[in-house]
Chains A and B, each alone.
Chain A
Amino acid sequence: MGKTAKIKAVGASTVAPFYPHEDAYDDMFAADGRLRAHYAQLHGRMSTLSAGELADRQRALEQSFLLQGITFTVYGGGEATERIIPTDLFPRIIPAAEWAHIDAGLTQRLRALNCFLADIYGDQKILTDGVVPRELILSAPSYRREMAGIYVPHDAYVNVSGADLIRGEDGGFFVLEDNLRVPSGVSYMLANRDAAKRTFPEIFGSARVRPVERYPDLLLASLKSMAPEWRPEPQVVVLTPGIYNSAYYEHAYLARLMGVPLVEGRDLVVHDNMAYMRTTTGLRVVDVIYRRVDDDFIDPLTFRRDSGLGAAGLFNVYRAGNVVIANAPGTGVADDKAVYAYVPDIIHYFLGEDPILPNVKTFLCRNPVELDHVLANLDKFVVKAVGASGGFGMLVGPHASAVEREVFAARLKADPANYVAQPTIHLSTAPCLVEGQIEPRHVDLRPFLLAGAEITVVPGALTRVALRRGSLVVNSSQGGGSKDTWVLSESETAP
């Protein structure tokens, strides 16, 4: 556990907590019910606002999201409806020292993972040395043989990522997932910040919150740093699957804030091993494609043949070094849930350092001894399918019925290599406004990282909230919400 991660409750005042302490670590109140010092201001504001005023602010917040069109599309019932992602009024606050620890840990991890990707698509030393089993990598569906031997500038295979962090019971942070396949959510971080400034202007002003607003220009700089030197003014574009994609708002948002075109597959044309886009005045060369389209759909000639979302021949242009695709195809193998278990070893192997942020203990069911242990203690584990994401295909042991566990055990035995298991962790909680009451809800933390010539962790994050009481699932596809996250600057501890 990180030493810096423990927050002392010094200077904390004794106030009546809004809710009784539960098992999990709470961001605002310590176990003895005392208020953590960095929450004092917000607490003061929360106590003085009446339930009616809080409800008004919540309503104004939701209206502004709907108006801006920050919605995701839900399909079903014959018609597609647009919904806003529920957003909680109260910001989550992270002190500077704690953030410094997260920043160092994530930077270290991404450096190691980029080295790892360069190695497995290059000399494969780590596989030859037996640190990571060769067959685990080569048999993973997300491993792209086509990437072998391709030159990637700065070895930056992953340019954009957003790790999922959770707090353990003593408050220390763990990395739960690395999310190297261009995760979404960054637009919510920016929109939440925008909203929080309007919801709590009084305390935002004096809290010395570090800005997240530079994300778009840092992203653009990272993308440009990937272009070859002989293209001094590289043309960057954002490639979206189109308006029916649930993250379309984000694609448009980032393109607009970077000032670059938002293209769809049908706008791209490949000719003579160069990539172009169709403009009103003819074809224009494209240098860097920030793609928000999965590997499978980038190029129907190389990957899925039925894809209409990419451009035919694009991968060849990439191979020839005439266009940059960010993230590089094939990065998904490094955030495979089974490979995840090896990340501490990967950090040791490539950097010779101890991991700053720990992994959650992970049992690989492909390994018979570990499988037996998992099966014997199924009621204590969270079991996840290796290839799935978004909270689907998983079993939360303590919350499942005996029948559900039995059914899952059968699936586990039938295909053990497809599963990993982790002990159930009580996600930490943060205060949320739920139906007019201030109540604790489980949260995780998704900070966003950029890598090109160098690695940057943007000082802010998307805090995802499990809005149902007691629920541990924070995914937006399953009833999760979000809240703004304030990272305080160093000087906040100064008198």
Chain B
Amino acid sequence: MMLARVADSLYWIGRYVERAEHHSRLCDVMLTAALDQNLAAVSVARRAISAFVDAEDSLGREVSFAAAHTLVLDRGNRGSVVASLSRARENARQVRDQITTETWERLNLLYLRVISASAERAFARGPATFLQSIIADLHLFKGAVDATMSHGQGWRFLLLGVYLERAQLIARLLTVCFGDQSAKTPLEDHMTQVSVLRMACALEPYLRVYTAEIHTRNLLEFLLFDEEFPHSVRFSIKRMEDHLTTLAQPGAADRSRPERLAARLSGRLEFADMDETLGPGALLSTVAQECSAIHDAVYETFISYPLEQRLPA
């Protein structure tokens, strides 16, 4: 038994922590590329964050630093890491009774760290160290979720949020980097491809499968269809399907929607062909649309359902 409001909060904790982690990684990669003075890589990273920050089109280091600062520490920016962590923590506070102390303390500690005055100093002194420690702390948080929370409904709603957000973020990353290759320069530069892989947390796992010969086709295949890599779109959708199937009530026909949508998308990714990934109406935009349809269906089924349908027998 779980309150609808609680499920809602847990789901959003998952989404916000995933978003905070992804954005930290984008900034880290962008700043490293700026340090290397690799303009193509900076440009692709800048494109990846363009949806969340207005940055000048200049590729200088100062501009990159300012853009990263906005995306990490600017509380006025809705997409910033500090805003995401504040919201995740606010949601966690609302369901403090539903999550374990270990889980809460990891998130609370991280929140206190990013809002403290010393965060600005730490970011200015060494942004890479700062961002990597945030990412490491978020991994600790997720570890605490898995290791200390009961793997029941609450845990599933939290992870549903994580994987839905991840599938959307990776799909969006691939769309901005490869979606309209006609307009931008094709990403054949090795360092740029490495940057994309790093932004998806995929460099080392990719190398183990395909070695250091990086091809865009392999890269797309890996991030979209790999069955075992936890940041691939297919993996994320498959996890969502698992969680939704378990959360669904057997025999309730009207509630079959979110898990049906997830299973359909999951099946599509399982049997998809590399050649249909790009261009209009292609798989990437289907993934984005279906993810938002799943989100709506989750709300209709579990959270904001009409009361007259749900009176106890």
Residues of chain A lying within 8 A (CB to CB) of residue B312: 276, 282-285
Interface string of B82-117 (1 = CB under 8 A from A): 000000001001111110010011001100100000
Q: How far is the CB of B56 from chain A (nearest CB, A)?
A: 31
Apart from the given pairs A67-B105, A253-B96, A282-B309, 8 other A-B contacts in the complex at a CB distance below 8 Å: A67-B109, A248-B93, A249-B96, A261-B97, A267-B3, A278-B3, A281-B1, A283-B311
Which of A263, A280, A284 is the most central at the interface, judged by chain B CB atoms within 10 Å of its CB? A280
Q: Is A487 an interface residue (CB 8 A)?
A: no
For window 288-313 of chain B, which residues contact chain A by CB distance below 8 Å?
A: 302-303, 305, 307, 309-312
Residues of chain A lying within 8 A (CB to CB) of residue B98: 256
Q: How long is the Cα–Cα vector from A67 to B106 in the complex, in angstroms?
A: 9
Q: Is B2 an interface residue (CB 8 A)?
A: yes
Q: Is B7 an interface residue (CB 8 A)?
A: yes
Q: Is B4 an interface residue (CB 8 A)?
A: yes
Which are the 9 A-B pairs with shortest beta-carbon distances? A282-B310, A256-B97, A252-B96, A255-B97, A280-B302, A278-B4, A262-B97, A252-B97, A280-B7
Q: How long is the Cα–Cα vector from A284 to B2 in the complex, in angstroms?
A: 10
Are B2 and A280 within 8 A (Cβ)?
A: yes
Residues of chain A lying within 8 A (CB to CB) of residue B90: 243
Q: How far is the CB of A338 from chain B (nearest CB, A)?
A: 38
Q: How long is the Cα–Cα vector from A256 to B154 in the complex, in angstroms?
A: 14
Are B105 and A279 within 8 A (Cβ)?
A: no
Q: Is A66 an interface residue (CB 8 A)?
A: yes
A-B contact pairs, 30 of them (CB 8 A): A68-B101, A69-B108, A243-B93, A243-B94, A252-B96, A252-B97, A253-B97, A255-B97, A256-B97, A256-B98, A261-B97, A262-B95, A262-B96, A264-B5, A266-B5, A269-B307, A278-B5, A279-B4, A280-B2, A280-B4, A280-B153, A280-B247, A281-B1, A281-B2, A282-B305, A282-B309, A282-B310, A283-B312, A284-B1, A285-B312
User: Which residue of B is nearest A252, CB measured?
Assistant: B96
For window 234-288 of chain B, which residues contact chain A by CB distance below 8 Å?
A: 247, 249
Residues of B in contact with A, size category: 20 to 34
The listed residue (A69, A249, A271) touching B311 by CB distance below 8 A is A271
Q: How long is the Cα–Cα vector from A262 to B2 in the complex, in angstroms?
A: 10
User: Which residue of B is nearest A264, CB measured?
Assistant: B5
Chain A residues proximal to chain B, CB less than 8 Å: 66-69, 242-243, 248-249, 252-253, 255-256, 261-264, 266-267, 269, 271, 276-285
Q: How long is the Cα–Cα vector from A75 to B19 in the complex, in angstroms?
A: 29
Residues of chain A lying within 8 A (CB to CB) of residue B101: 68
On whether A267 and B311 interact (CB within 8 A), knowing A256-B96, A256-B97, the answer reads no
On whether A271 and B307 interact (CB within 8 A), knowing A278-B4, A281-B1, A281-B249, the answer reads yes
Q: How long is the Cα–Cα vector from A269 to B305 in the complex, in angstroms?
A: 13
Q: How long is the Cα–Cα vector from A488 to B90 in the complex, in angstroms?
A: 40
Q: How far is the CB of A284 from chain B (nearest CB, A)?
A: 6
On whether A280 and B303 interact (CB within 8 A), knowing A261-B3, A264-B5, the answer reads yes
Q: How far is the CB of B93 from chain A (nearest CB, A)?
A: 5
Are B97 and A279 within 8 A (Cβ)?
A: no
Residues of chain A lying within 8 A (CB to CB) of residue B108: 67-69
Are B307 and A283 within 8 A (Cβ)?
A: yes
On whether A277 and B3 interact (CB within 8 A), knowing A69-B104, A255-B97, the answer reads yes
Q: How long is the Cα–Cα vector from A243 to B309 in the complex, in angstroms?
A: 30
For window 1-57 of chain B, which residues contact chain A by CB distance below 8 Å?
A: 1-7
Q: How far is the CB of A272 from chain B (nearest CB, A)?
A: 9
Q: How long is the Cα–Cα vector from A262 to B6 in the complex, in angstroms?
A: 9
Residues of chain A lying within 8 A (CB to CB) of residue B249: 281
Q: How long is the Cα–Cα vector from A462 to B310 in the complex, in angstroms?
A: 44
Q: How long is the Cα–Cα vector from A107 to B293 in the complex, in angstroms?
A: 59
Q: How long is the Cα–Cα vector from A59 to B64 in the complex, in angstroms?
A: 39
Q: How long is the Cα–Cα vector from A279 to B305 in the complex, in angstroms?
A: 10
Are B2 and A279 within 8 A (Cβ)?
A: yes
Residues of chain A lying within 8 A (CB to CB) of residue B104: 69
